[in-house]
Structure 1
Amino acid sequence: MTSAEGRNTIQRWLDLARYEVIPLEGAEERVLQSVGKEIKVTVTASPRRGLDPTLELAERLARHGYSAVPHISARLVADGRHLDEVVERVRAAGIKEVFVVAGDEARPEGEFSGSLELLQAMHERGHSFDDVGIAGYPESHPLIDDDVTIQSMWDKRQFGTYIVSNICFDAKVIVRWVKRVRRRGVELPIYLGLPSITDTAKLLRVSQKIGVGESARFLTKSRGGLLRLVVPGGYDPTRLLEKLAPRLGDPALDVPGIHIYTFNEIEQTEAWRRQITREARSRG
């Protein structure tokens, strides 16, 4: 049973939830049908398709009145001139926030191999936004050494305004990571990255791809593991949320909300968010 304090934290996190969507066919319509304008919508970048689909969907969502946040993948930006074009395009759409990541490309297409280099270039070229998100990794990233991710978090703090954590299924790992970030003196707000309700097989495939293999193994090995987190029809993040809220609700840790990886299961995600919010409010 989650405590009253934990339920208040859950309600606060869900009120400030962010949805991550993939720029595939039908994504725009799904957002329009299910998601209110109070929800911030971030749009991923694909190594196979480049930045254009990301920017196009973000532009369309912005025209509909959403706070759209395009992901700018450093390894998809060719050079400074290309960066200027991307930034001007984003600004022209009235978008005031971007999320800067290294990207999943094994090799960069241009001169930027990581997000820090791109952030530095944005700063040097006078490209500022109201908010700039950076990624955090509670577990290993498939393309970046652990020591590099830890140092990179410190180096990027001067350019970013908040952190979004990569998916992790182990509450203990997430809590340790948040506290470790704070001990290192990184004070940026942290949005916890949670997977949405989705098909279990799909979730595990994505998990292996984005570098949460230890979590995937945790699910299958730890005292019932995956079975305890799965409901008929797929994965449900509620239990993970309930474990995190009592441990990370302290305002001093500055965890203002959650970032939900929807895998474009947008209608199901919003239905889940509303249900859990109602339950948290009804229990006081």
Structure 2
Amino acid sequence: MTSDHTTRTSADLLVGASLEMTGKDAPGLLEAAGLLAPGTRVNVTYLGTEDDALRLDGVRAVLGQGLVPVPHIAARRQHSAEGLAGYCRALAEAGAITELLVVGGDPTSPEGPFPDALSLIRSGVLAQHGARGVAVTGYPDGHPAISSEALWSALEAKVSEVAAQGLDASVITQFGFDATTVLAWLEQVRARGIEVPVRVGVPGPAGVKRLLGYARRFGVGTSTSILRKYGLSMANLVSTAGPDRFVADLADQYDPARHGDVALHFYTFGGLRATAQWIQETRR
């Protein structure tokens, strides 16, 4: 595969960017909606502290603003196959089953019949209720509890299973702080024959202390050199950091011939308006 690399800008890479929210973030979405382009994808998470009613409220809030909801489904949080089918029916009735993200979920032990995302996808329930596209997770920084070999095997199996069911597969990565690590991981993805679209996880603008807290929670690499490269100041934890440098580095080094179809996905950490405003101002 030859490379015809044309340097891109941060604004170029932001075309089609997606964001993430929880069910409780619905009021914040109202503040941010006017800053988002119609049709913007907004992922609605599947937190253990929320119930299906709250998740559906979030989905309906996204639809109500002319945006596209991408509901998450956490495999290990499903208490039964019947419960999963009921949630899928509710999403279908709301007009929000077309695109989904399937994750394993936080519990170390499954609360029902699905030990991981692959087993839930293999059940066929998603396609039966009208899903057309299913995204799965990727981990450029690795995972503290899962070996690299197991992560690659799982990614290949999930993408293959989604495609085998005639659905559109894609990958959404965990957020990170080092563009070089992300791009190297993308090259490995393509070298393994995984050619589906990838949305690179990006931390939205947030307080340094908050960012570091989420990074520790999700096992994201946070060495001093990486944090400094990103622009985080350990000496000033009350300051706010945006993804300007990370996105600029990603855009500068991104080569479609090597890295494939790539877009950005923003983890907003409750700051929907701040993230939407950052995207709008950067695109300008």
1:119 partnered with 2:121: yes
Residues in 2 aligned to 1:43 and 1:124: alpha-carbon distance in whole angstroms: 16
| Counterpart mapping for 1:83-98 below 5 A | 83-95=84-96, 96-98=98-100
1:174 partnered with 2:175: no
Superposed CA RMSD: 2.6
| Counterpart mapping for 1:156-167 below 5 A | 156-158=158-160, 159=162, 161-167=169-175
Residues in 1 aligned to 2:283 and 2:237: alpha-carbon distance in whole angstroms: 19
Structure 1 residue 143, shift from structure 2 partner = 4.1
Paired AA for residue 58 in structure 2: L
Q: Structure 1: 5+ residue runs without aligned partners?
A: 279-284
Residues 6 and 255 of structure 2 are in contact (CA less than 8 Å); yes or no, is this contact kept in structure 1?
no
Structure 1 residue 138, shift from structure 2 partner = 0.5
> What's 1:12 paired with?
12
Structure 1 residue 106, shift from structure 2 partner = 2.5
Structure 1 residue 128, shift from structure 2 partner = 4.3
Alpha carbons of 1:250 and 1:261: their partners in 2 closer, same or farther (altered >3 Å)? same
Residues 12 and 257 of structure 1 are in contact (CA less than 8 Å); yes or no, is this contact kept in structure 2?
no
Paired AA for residue 79 in structure 1: S
Per the alignment, in what secondary structure is the counterpart of residue 49 of structure 1? coil
Per the alignment, in what secondary structure is the counterpart of residue 265 of structure 2? strand
1:242 partnered with 2:248: yes
Residues 116 and 156 of structure 1 are in contact (CA less than 8 Å); yes or no, is this contact kept in structure 2?
yes
Paired AA for residue 39 in structure 2: E
Residues in 1 aligned to 2:52 and 2:242: alpha-carbon distance in whole angstroms: 31
Of the structure 1 ranges 241-250 and 124-133, higher mean CA displacement relative to structure 2 is found in: 124-133
1:139 partnered with 2:176: no
1:264 partnered with 2:270: yes
Of the structure 1 ranges 124-133 and 199-208, higher mean CA displacement relative to structure 2 is found in: 124-133
Structure 1 residue 155, shift from structure 2 partner = 0.2
Alpha carbons of 1:31 and 1:90: their partners in 2 closer, same or farther (altered >3 Å)? farther
Per the alignment, in what secondary structure is the counterpart of residue 128 of structure 2? coil
Residues 187 and 258 of structure 2 are in contact (CA less than 8 Å); yes or no, is this contact kept in structure 1?
no
Structure 1 residue 58, shift from structure 2 partner = 0.8
> What's 2:112 paired with?
110
> What's 2:165 paired with?
none
Per the alignment, in what secondary structure is the counterpart of residue 248 of structure 2? helix
Q: Deviations over 1:110-152 (max 9, x none)?
A: 1111111111113697344221111100112244333221101
Alpha carbons of 1:6 and 1:168: their partners in 2 closer, same or farther (altered >3 Å)? same
Paired AA for residue 76 in structure 2: R
1:215 partnered with 2:222: yes
Residues 22 and 44 of structure 1 are in contact (CA less than 8 Å); yes or no, is this contact kept in structure 2?
yes
Alpha carbons of 1:81 and 1:173: their partners in 2 closer, same or farther (altered >3 Å)? same
Residues in 1 aligned to 2:192 and 2:138: alpha-carbon distance in whole angstroms: 13
Q: Deviations over 1:250-269 (max 9, x none)?
A: 25532331000111211211
Q: Structure 2: 5+ residue runs without aligned partners?
A: 163-167
Please report the TM-score for the alignment, with normalisation by the length of structure 2.
0.85
Residues in 2 aligned to 1:124 and 1:42: alpha-carbon distance in whole angstroms: 17
> What's 1:203 paired with?
211
> What's 1:282 paired with?
none
> What's 1:281 paired with?
none
Structure 1 residue 39, shift from structure 2 partner = 1.6
Structure 1 residue 225, shift from structure 2 partner = 6.1
Residues in 2 aligned to 1:171 and 1:125: alpha-carbon distance in whole angstroms: 34
Which residue, out of 151, 154, 164, partners 2:153?
A: 151
Structure 1 residue 237, shift from structure 2 partner = 0.5
Per the alignment, in what secondary structure is the counterpart of residue 168 of structure 1? coil
Residues in 1 aligned to 2:134 and 2:118: alpha-carbon distance in whole angstroms: 12
Per the alignment, in what secondary structure is the counterpart of residue 190 of structure 2? helix
Please report the TM-score for the alignment, with normalisation by the length of structure 1.
0.85
